[in-house]
Amino acid sequence: MSNFANSKESLENLAKRLVEKASNNTIWRQRSAVNLIPSEQTMSPLVRLLAITDPSGRYAEHRKVKALGDAEIYYYQGAEFIAEVEAELIKGMKNFLGCSEVETRVISGQMANVTVFSGVMNYFNRVNRRVEPRRLRSVMNHHIGKGGHLSAQPMGGLRDYASVDPVTERRAVVNFPILADNPYKIDLPRTAELIEQHKPVLIILGKSVMLHREPVKEIALMIADIIPKPIIMYDGAHVLGLLSPYFQMPLEEGADI
């Protein structure tokens, strides 16, 4: 009994200390710190309130079933409310981003990027499903040391999707060149040369250290006459709240995803 009592008391003290420290950290973050990572900005009181409600911890897996007219079929019962909210979110995101398709079920930027890489690789292998899928022949991205995010790197999310260059024996990933006087901006003339040389099938714009708009329109014009045309992906995870006519509308400027 003594050990149980001591254990119970220690757990209570641990819980109290945890709550106190979490509260102090929250006050520090909210009132005494300048947070410079846009993707970590504070959730609104409404979102925080909704995050503690019951649906936030429920399963809502679903997929289209051809036999039922491509209806979205949910695997778990009691998900009607979640289905309704997801439909409203899709509608709102389509309107906000100006796109035709939205996938809201991915819960992180890493998962979102891997989902795109998988989908793009599947698209390029659509003609012949009887052989092992070929990886992406060549990809262009931001170097991780120049602001690129880990989720779009050969050692990260791209690892299982980019081909190996037989000459270098490394993943066939080429980095955007940067300006000598501004490492946060892409050198467009050199980019055009690298696109001509490496012929990437996927061009990944967007990064975690972004001080300027990405040259989506300019790169879209560079590849306009290339057949087959490379796919331009814009990773907006870190600037999602800034996407607007006042900053950047990547899909309107030529991004495909």
DSSP 3-state assignment of 59?
Answer: coil
pLDDT for the residue numbered 240: 86
Mean pLDDT per segment of 10 residues, for the chain of length 257 residues? 64 94 95 84 90 94 94 94 96 93 92 96 92 95 95 94 93 97 97 97 95 96 96 94 89 97
pLDDT for the residue numbered 6: 64
Longest dimension (CA), the chain: 79
Q: Can you tell me the distance from the alpha carbon of 81 to that of 119, in angstroms, rounded to the nearest whole number?
A: 28
pLDDT for the residue numbered 8: 65
Q: Model-level pTM? A: 0.88
**b/e map 220-257, b = 16+ CB within 10 Å:** bebbeeeeeebbbbbbbbbbeeebeeeebbbbebbbbb
End-to-end CA distance of the chain: 61
pLDDT for the residue numbered 7: 66
pLDDT for the residue numbered 187: 98
